[in-house]
Every structure is written in structure tokens, then in C-alpha cells.
Amino acid sequence: MPEQIKVAIAGLGAIGFAVAEALDSGTIEGMTLTAVSARDTARAEARLAAFRAPVPVLPLTDLAETADVVVECIPASNFAELAESVLGRGRTLLPLSVGALLARPELIDLAQAKGGTIVVPTGALLGLDALRACAEGPVDSVTLVTRKPPGGLAGAPHLVDNGISVEGLTEPKLVFEGTARDGARGFPANVNVAAALSLAGIGPDETALQIWADPTVTRNTHTVTVEADAARLTMTIENVPTEENPRTGKITALSVLATLRRMTGPLRVGT
């Protein structure tokens, strides 16, 4: 990495804008915001006008030409287009649509061939460092149980395709049980955490996932259980949602910032 790392952001929603603000403020030493992309260019330009150093709003595939690192905060449907342009130029991609990566394993080969790098932030989960350590030895099982307010799951492809309603619930309802790969496909906007967990551990086809629509919770809650030769892990995180998008936890943007800071910091803590 160069001494001054240039960062571009794909998507200017709750996460992307928070990251952009932090970069513009100079709180991450050694990093500079160089460009963003957004569906509504005029609105994005208006929001950026108040920045200390406003940057251009570019098409997705042009971001990698301006940056060393591209942070992906866009709908999964646009993930492959962006990832190919970034990795094909040998840049570093920080993806939040991790579930989309499971469906495109050739992107990892592209990164290797072109000298690019995929760095997956921990996001709204926990314990990836411990799981990665355990995965250096035998791991018997990895299970993720996700509980979300019903409204946060409404409209997910799995629910629509199977005629599952989450309206008017008065008690928790199990709406999915299967592998992390199938869960990421059926809930592309909801369980990128399952994809990240599977990549850190024993893979998307061996990682078990349950998703509950739970009217008794107000926070997106994830419980990870790992049975391994080195340790038994049980970890739960309850994420405070952002005001702009209740499906997104505040910690997700902070995780991106921590990942960026780790790239330039003289001290790195954790596996």
C-alpha cells in the first residue's frame, strides 16, 4: 500500500455516507476519499457539497481508476460488475455484500491473477478472529442463529418464493433453516453475516443457519456457536439499527472504518 491510500466508496446510503464523512474529516490517518458512486447523482453531489474536500460522483466501474481501495455498499445485484472492475485492476475490494461473493467464487481467482485483494470486514457479526484461529485445526460445527424484527425481513426472496408471511406475528417464527449458502441466496439483504462467518470458518455448505422473524426483539441479534478441537465458542451480538435503514446496524459502518484504519496503523490487534 502507498503511504497515502486513496479510497472510493460504491454506494452512499447509511453505511457509505458514514464512511465518507469519516474519511473527509481526516480521522483515518493515511487515507483520502477520492470518489463515490450513487444511484442518485444529484442528491449525492448535494450531500458531498458540505464536505471539506468534495469528490466526484462516478459510475461504478470508474471508481477503481481513482482509488487503491474501493468500499462496496451497494445492492447485491450490482456487486459482480463492481467487483470485476476493482479486482481486474489489481485493487483492494472491501465488500459488504459478502453473500454475493459466495455465488461468484471466480472473483477470488480474478483477484489472485491480477494482484487484487478482497478484504471482508467483520461487519455486524463477532468472533471471526476466533473462528479463523479454530479453523486452523479441526472444526466440528459452526451455527449461526439470526433473530430480526419481522419488518427487517419483509420482502426477502425466500419469503416471497415460499409464501411465508411475517406480518402480525406475536411470537418468534422460524422462517429459514439450512446452509449459509442457501441463506445468503434467499436473504441477500439480511444475512451477509452468514456468508462472512462461512468464509472465516468451514465454508458456506457446512455452516448452519437459522433465521427467525422475532417480534420480541428490537435489535438484529446474531448468536454464533462453534464446536472445534481447540475451543467451544458461544457468542451473541445485538446490533443497534441505523435510523436511515433499520436493516443495517450502526456497527457495520464502524467495522469498515476499523478495517481501513487497520490497513495503515502501526499496531494491529487480532488474528
Q: Which residues are catalytic?
A: 222
Burial 205-220 (b: 16+ CB within 10 A, else e): eebbbbbbbbeebebb
Sequence-ordered list of residues with C-beta below 8 angstroms from that of 250, at least 6 positions apart, any chain: 239, 240, 241, 242
b/e sequence 25-35, b meaning 16+ C-beta within 10 Å: eeebeebbbbb
CB 184 within 8 A of CB 89: no
Amino acid letter, residue 22: A
Could you tell me which residues are beta bridge partners of residue 178? Answer: 209
Length of the chain: 271
Nearest to 159 by CA among 168, 147, 150: 150
Other Cβ atoms closer than 10 A to 170: 7
Q: How far is CA 28 from the centre of its chain?
A: 20
Distant-in-sequence, close-in-space partners of 4: CB < 8 Å, separation ≥ 6: 30, 31, 32
